[in-house]
Amino acid sequence: MLPLELDKLSMNILVFQQNQKSAAKIAGIRKYGGNRFKIDVISIDDDLPPVIDDARQYLPKKIEADLVLDFLQHPDLSYDLAQICSEMGIPLVASGKKHHLAHVITPPT
């Protein structure tokens, strides 16, 4: 059991997903993270073209989170999200992606 003051800390996590593909992962964070995480989800469910010149039209202009999780499938959306997070200094976890930007963590899947 965590000390009382650590147990009360909460991290704001913002999850980006397409077509509800990360529902099981989000459920796992909620189940095993208890009240340590406040999770907001941005779901992009539009039919997207194969190439998006400026994916920022699908992404928020401002991100307020302690951590961003990228479960996006479209590579242009994912890359622009990584750029935004890097510029804002917000850590981003993008499993299996190949982004090489500051604050972006890309563990293998």
Report how far residue 40's alpha carbon sits from residue 53's, in angstroms, rounded to the nearest whole number: 26
pLDDT for res 4: 45
Written as tens digits, the pLDDT of the chain (109 aa) is 444 454 556 899 999 999 888 999 999 999 999 889 999 999 998 889 999 998 878 999 889 999 999 999 999 999 999 999 999 999 999 887 777 777 777 777 6
Which helix (H) or strand (E) segment holds residue 69: the answer is: strand 67-71
pTM (2 decimals)? 0.82
Residues with Cβ within 8 Å of 50's Cβ and at least 6 positions away in sequence, in order, are: none
